[in-house]
Amino acid sequence: MDIKRMRREETLFLMIDFQERLMPAMHGKEELEDRVVRLAKGARVLGIPVLVSQQYTKGLGPTIPSVAQALGEFTPYDKTAFSVMEQPELSAELRKMGRKTIVISGIESHICVAQSALDLLEEGYNVFICGDCVSSRNPVDIRMAKSRLRAAGAQYTSMEAVLFELTGGAKEKGFKEISAIIK
């Protein structure tokens, strides 16, 4: 796997299952929600495309309002398989976009995030996990997923590191807006 720096023109954000009936059960849900909202706002400032999945929307509800609002206009992809790559419309859209670096945020770390990341790695994508923007109900599951995904070739980073790396520098377009989002 050729893991390298993230670049705006090569990067896509994948937000997995931040849904109304799942979020209340997540470990560290308040901090998680805050960081995911910031990541979504940063994506808009930087012009990074975002794909959003929802696991069985009928049963688990839509994307939580704070994240939906931060994203602006988006089309969620409903899925019943755990991996987003098993959702034909979403995986087709991801491939069509032609971006080889995927930054993942989502829940749950050890199920949908892990299976999606493993499938993306298997297909040759550079996968970065936004470690402070993923969670599970149980902290042990978060640690186990992190260990497994690192061993498989995913890189772990943070929301702040992602946004500043994609900004590129203090004189670059979007720097002031990203700085305000981070503060």
Contacts of 58 (CB under 8 A, 6+ apart): none
Closest alpha carbon to 45 in 171, 164, 183? 164
Cα–Cα distance for residue pair 181/5, rounded to 1 Å: 22
3-state secondary structure 57-115: HHHHCCECHHHHHHHCCCCEEEECCCCHHHCHHHHHHHHHHCCCEEEEEEECHHHHHHH
pLDDT digits (tens, 9 = 90+) for 88-109: 999 999 999 999 999 999 999 9
pLDDT digits (tens, 9 = 90+) for 119-147: 999 999 999 999 999 999 999 999 999 99
Cα–Cα distance for residue pair 32/42, rounded to 1 Å: 15
Q: How confident is the model at residue 3 (pLDDT cuts 50, 70, 90)?
A: low
- Tracing tokens 């954000």 back to the chain, one arrives at 13
How high is the pLDDT of residue 2?
Answer: 60
Cα dihedral sign, 99-15-83-75: negative
Rg of the Cα trace of the chain? 15
Ordered domains of the chain (ranges, CATH)? 8-182 (3.40.50.850)
pLDDT digits (tens, 9 = 90+) for 54-64: 999 999 999 99
20 prior amide bond cis, ω within 30: no
Cα–Cα distance for residue pair 97/142, rounded to 1 Å: 29
